[in-house]
Amino acid sequence: MKNALYIILFILILGSLSHFGLPWWAVVPIAAAAGWFFPLAAGKIFSIAFVAGALLWTTNAFLLNAANEGILSAKVGVLFQGLKGWHLLGITAILGGILAGFGAMTGRLARDVFVGSKPKV
Amino acid sequence: MHIIRFLLSFFLTGATIWLLSTPQKAGDSTLPPLATFFNPFSGFWKNAEPVGGFAPENLNLPGLKGKVEVVYDELLIPHIFAGSKEDAVRVQGYITAQHRLWQMDIAARKASGRLSEVLGERTLNIDRITRRRGMVFAAENNVLGWGKSPEGMRLLEAYAAGVNAYIAQLSPADYPIEFKLLNYAPEPWTVLKTALIVEAMAETLCSGENDLASTIALTQFGRDTFNYLYPEWNPQQQPIIPDTGQWKDWKVALPPLPAVGTKAGAPTSGSLSGVFEKNGDFFAQPGDVDDDYIVGSNNWALAGPNTASGHPLLCNDPHLNLTLPSIWFQVQLHTPEQNCYGVSLQGVPGIAIGFNENIAWGLTNVGQDVSDWYRLQWTNPERTKYSLDGEIREVQKRVEVIHIKGKEPLLDTVRYTVWGPVVYDYDKEHPLRDCALRWITHDQPAPDAPNIFIFLNAGKNYEDYRRALAAYDCPAQNFVFATRTGDIAITVQGRFPVRAPEQGRFVQDGSRWSNAWIDYIPSDRVPAMKNPSRGFVFSANQHSTPPSYPYYYLSGDFDDFRGRHIYDRLTAMKNATADSMKTMQLDNFSQRAADALPAMLRLLDQNKLDADGRKMTAELAAWDFRYEADATAAPLFEVWFDSCYQKTWDEITTLRQQKKQVLMPERWRFIELLGKDTASIFFDHPATPQRETARDIVNETFALMQDYFRQNPQKRTGWGQFRGFTIKHIAQIDAFSRLDVIVGGNGSAPNAITRTHGPSWRMIVELGERVRGLGVYPGGQSGNPGSPYYDNMVNTWAKGEYNDLLFLASADETSNRILGRQTFMPRE
């Protein structure tokens, strides 16, 4: 449980910092690092990193959207066949989640190859 | 085992990144790369501007000579205070790019035939025609001409450098959302791009001509019928400059009559009647109202004796295709030489329409035909040599390289002759295949051209105005003008060829140099007027002068209705105020309806109508000819009038169905025939045994109109709803457009709103001890659909309201309408 919290914080903090200058896919290597340092079971680490990536992306999007009073998301929603602003937040969350999840899982599995440690539970 | 699981996961992750950063096809459209677009760090969320959070930063700008202060008002209008003109336009470039970068980029791309580079093959034909019409050639010539004015060129370069300073500090996260959607990046601005924007205006405003359609009409109908159908002068016209005897002593030598090249795609034999009998019943579906009249613009100035304040009033509302972002960007430019406020064209330094403490000016399009086709006499089968006065000339080839996204570039060779480019020779079917285009826009401008608006912005009196205008060539404009000290004036300014009568009306023989434009009307002989005794000057794209003006000019597109009504209103106007000017700009009265409807009702057999028809007639008879948004009689008239027009010219629409693009007679002429020549052969349907008259057409089309509304009861609404109206995003993205606005207005009324066009900037200037401006355009200062300033003036405009323009005397002036302040300092 504690590990899960660490992983989420790790991805949230480094993920937020990384975007001063790094490209959007920086979340993938960051999640991979999390997977390396916190070697939970692959399925578990995917889920935790998914939550972290989703939170990272959607919180940032949510804040921008709230400050904008939803002006732009309403328009972009129309552009995407009539989606609502919160649909777009959902898509953003899923995309962030998938990227972080895959990243963390890859980092975790890399550790198996290069270090060979047994997963802690 | 571990290694396989790792590799699988690694490649899955890599594939996901690739998939989410690559544009995906979804049906007909292409989705932007999903993660690139949705991520909140550089994707579209970054374009969601905080509402109420506009806080401009202080900046250092390379190339500045001194400190420049910018005050933003509540509408996000920048008021720029600089120590020199050069600094002012440098910051103007920076700020315009900051708010309108994608619009600038796409406008320059469109004008240079480079859309396909970012949009792919679907825009290839547009690009190709743009190139073949010589748009880039023209812009290059423009830059060559501008280069002769070092002062002007320095300002153009400063503006471009300002734009580029803004672009240079951008990261992809900051790109306007359209770049993210279309997945490309901005590129540096150049003086050539400014020239391209100017050429794009010329394309919009002075490329009109009917050479081919008139030539086909002449060969089909013969001279007498041609003259009957297409008279050039409307006797009811109120020209811009009346004849006050000012040109009676001019000695004018017109060139010899031109040789007409009648073979330009038109058949030279064959009888008309045979054609008509086959397909005589064709007419456009009623209700399919052609609302796309060529809309132009209005401007006028009233002298002090006619105004309540005793000082001149000046008004302007240029009618253009209404888009988001808007074509205009409001700005105030203050330097030691000037304090000027108005609208600027994105990509062009200075102010195009506006005022300063001493003067105000406005523009409407002149619309004279400055675009002629010359039929070439090729002397070899490869079409690379042609005969001119018996001598053999060789074409010059210009290779246009059109880059296409995802494809090999298209290399297109365009042949240039002494006349200009051979535009359509790639199309074997095109009737102008063997013709070259002579277009004033291709010519090098006068050396002072880049300074025209710079001079005008700083103008103080009538002499400054005339001096600034002297270099203005193209697109010709009616420059209305007024001063604080009481002068009013109007000048039909542009470069106009001295033409023989009817020269340029038809496709001309390109094998004779005597058909060329040799001389141009001297600048002191272009139509102009200062302080007329009637106390006002005005223009609405109508004829520049009455036929007594010694020079011949032509256009098929002179306005016949708005100007007459504006003239009537100005003639009656006493004690005018800004409010009375508003009622004129918002006036939905249609002179066309007022001319046509009484004649139509007179010819209608009202006793043969059913109850519904009698109700409609009563409604029409009670109509005040105003296209108000809620006017329910206006759709009835529009459908009836349009059917009537189409049914009368069924002979011509039949020919046009057969791809013979015969010129359509003008609407004023049609209305004249309805009133004066009801037995004209053109009211007859060739396919029927009996001979119809105007009365038959009017009654027949009234029944069609009734049928139409019986079948489409939902169309029985107010005019605004019936006509429809959109302000489309430039890339036609509906989500970024305004499709919900219901407004009155009509192309034949001063408030010339059609489905897609309308007053793009309504401006009223009260001159006097302290100048006051009112203005509004249907858009917003920001080009970002995610900004609250993207379309915040649309509702104001639609309601017919105006903003009081904040005209600051200095950067220190305080006002509760100020949003923020910004300082630009020179970068060491």
Give the tens place of pLDDT for each residue, B475-519: 999 999 999 999 999 999 999 999 999 999 999 999 999 999 999
Whether B165 contacts B61, CB under 8 Å: yes
- pLDDT score for A121: 44
| 3-state SS string for B341-382 | EEEEECCCCCCCEEEECCEEEEEEECCCCCEEEEECCECCCC
CB contact under 8 A, B5 and A57: no
The DSSP symbol for B255 reads P
Chain B residue numbers touching A113 (CB-CB < 8 A) = 2-3, 6
Average pLDDT over residues B33-59: 92
Rounded distance between C-alpha atoms, residue B484 and residue B771, angstroms: 8
H or E element at residue B80? strand B78-81
Selecting from A61, A72, A112 the residue whose C-beta is nearest the C-beta of B2 gives: A112
Q: How confident is the model at residue B446 (pLDDT cuts 50, 70, 90)?
A: confident
pLDDT at B287: 47
**Nearest one of B436, B335, B333 to B383, comparing CA atoms:** B436
Average pLDDT over residues B631-647: 96
Contacts of A77 in chain B (CB under 8 A): 735
User: Considering chain B, what is the average pLDDT of its residues?
Assistant: 92
Q: How far is A4 from chain B (nearest CA, A)?
A: 21
pLDDT classification of B282: cutoffs 50, 70, 90 = very low
**CA distance, residue A102 to nearest chain B CA (Å):** 5
Nearest CA in chain A to B45: A61
Which residues does B554 contact at the CB level (< 8 Å), separation at least 6?
B232, B368, B369, B499, B502, B504, B505
| pLDDT for the residue B489 | 98
Q: How confident is the model at residue B615 (pLDDT cuts 50, 70, 90)?
A: very high
Between CA B653 and CA B664 the distance in angstroms is: 8
> Which amino acid, B541?
N
Percent of chain B whose pLDDT exceeds 70: 95
Q: Looking at residue B686, what DSSP letter applies?
A: T
- Measured between alpha carbons, how far apart are the two ends of chain A, in Å? 10
pLDDT tops 60 at residue B318: yes
Task: List, in sequence order, the alpha helices (H) in B241-285.
Answer: 272-279
Q: What is the DSSP string of B7-64?
A: HHHHHHHHHHHHHHTS-EEETTEEEPPHHHHH-TTTSGGGG-PPTT---PPPEEETT-
Q: How far is A93 from chain B (nearest CA, A)?
A: 9
The per-residue pLDDT for range B769-791, each reduced to its tens digit, is 999 999 999 999 999 999 999 99
Instruction: State whether B51 and A113 contact (CB < 8 Å).
Output: no
Q: Which of residues 71-110 of A touch B (CB under 8 A)?
A: 71-73, 75-79, 88, 91-92, 95-96, 98-99, 102-103, 105-106, 109-110
CB B259 within 8 A of CB B388: no
- pLDDT bin (cut points 50, 70, 90) of residue B429 is confident
Distance CA A87, CA A95 (A): 12
Cα B703 to Cα B786: distance, rounded to the nearest angstrom? 49
* Cβ–Cβ below 8 Å for A102 and B53: no
Would you state the pLDDT for residue B270?
Answer: 33
Pair B464, B284: CB distance under 8 Å: no
Nearest CA of chain A to the CA of B347: how many Å?
26
Judging contacts by C-beta atoms under 8 Å, the chain A residues touching residue B53 are 67
d(CA B765, CA B360): 7
Partners of A58 on chain B (C-beta within 8 Å) are 40
Set of chain B residues whose Cβ sits within 8 Å of the Cβ of A78 = 734-735
Spatial neighbors of B629 by CB under 8 A, at least 6 apart, are: B718, B719, B720, B721, B742, B743, B744
pLDDT tens for B369-411 read: 999 999 999 999 999 999 999 999 999 999 999 999 989 999 9
State whether residue A46 sits within 8 Å of chain B by CB: no
Least Cα separation, residue B7 to chain A (angstroms): 8
Q: Chain A: nearest CA to B539, how far in angstroms? A: 40
Q: Which of B10, B12, B736 has its CB closest to that of A75?
A: B736
Collapsed DSSP state (helix, strand, coil) of residue B260: strand
Which tokens belong to B678?
């009801």
Taking each helix axis from N to C end, the angle separating B562-572 and B591-603, rounded to the nearest 10 degrees, works out to: 110
Question: What whole-number distance in Å separates Cα of residue B548 and Cα of residue B242?
Answer: 9
Q: Phi and psi of B34, rounded to 5°?
A: -65, -50
Size of chain B in residues: 828
User: Contact at 8 Å (CB) between B408 and B401?
Assistant: no
β-strands B391-394, B396-402 pairing: unpaired
* Other CB atoms within 10 A of residue B309 CB: 16
Query: Which of A77, A91, A98 has its CB closest to that of B16?
Result: A98
Mean pLDDT of all residues in B559-565: 95
pLDDT over threshold 60, residue B280: no
Q: Is the pLDDT of residue B524 over 50?
A: yes
Q: How far is CA B97 from CA B436, B760, B792, in A?
A: 37, 20, 19
Inter-chain CB proximity A68 and B50 less than 8 Å: yes
Residues of B with CB under 8 A from a CB of A: 2-3, 5-6, 9-10, 12-13, 16-17, 20-21, 34-36, 38-51, 53, 177, 181, 733-736, 785-788, 790
Buried b (16+ CB within 10 A) or exposed e, B332-362: bbbbebbbbbbbbbbbbbbbbbbbbbbbbbb
Q: Are B352 and B365 in contact (CB under 8 A)?
A: no
Residue A20's pLDDT band (boundaries 50, 70, 90)? confident
Report ipTM (2 d.p.): 0.94
Question: How far, in Å, CA of B715 to CA of B723, rounded?
Answer: 9
Choosing among A30, A50, A69, A106, which should be mutated to test the B contact, i.e. which has the most B CBs within 10 A? A106
Are B684 and B741 spatial neighbours (Cβ–Cβ below 8 Å)? no
How does pLDDT run across B320-357, given as a tens digit for each residue? Answer: 999 999 999 999 999 999 999 999 999 999 999 999 99
Contact B78, B808 (CB under 8 A): no
Residue B167 has pLDDT above 50, yes or no: yes
A19 at the B interface (CB within 8 A)?
yes
Cβ-contact B478, B363 below 8 angstroms: yes
**A68–B48 CB contact, under 8 Å:** yes
Looking at per-residue pLDDT, the higher value among B662 and B255 belongs to: B662
Q: What is the pLDDT of residue B294?
A: 59
Residue B268: pLDDT over 80: no
Single-letter residue type at B539:
S
- B734 interaction partners in chain A (CB closer than 8 Å): 78
B80 in Cβ contact with B807 (< 8 Å): no
Residue B441 has which token pair?
Answer: 């826009």
Section B536-544 average pLDDT: 97
- Provide the angle, in degrees to the nearest 10, between the axes of the packed helices B150-168 and B135-146: 120
Disruptive mutation site among A14, A27, A79 for chain B (greatest number of B CBs within 10 Å): A79
Q: Using pLDDT thresholds of 50, 70 and 90, give the confidence band for residue A1.
A: low
- CA atoms within a 13 Å half-sphere pointing along the CA-CB vector of B484: 14
Q: What pLDDT is stored for residue B62 in this prediction?
A: 93
Secondary structure class of B816 (helix, strand, coil): coil
The number of angstroms, rounded, from the C-alpha of B738 to the middle of its chain's C-alpha atoms is 20
> Smallest CA–CA separation between A38 and chain B, in Å?
16
Per CB-CB distance under 8 Å, the chain B contacts of A23 are 42
Question: What are the residue ranges spanned by the domains of chain A?
Answer: 2-114
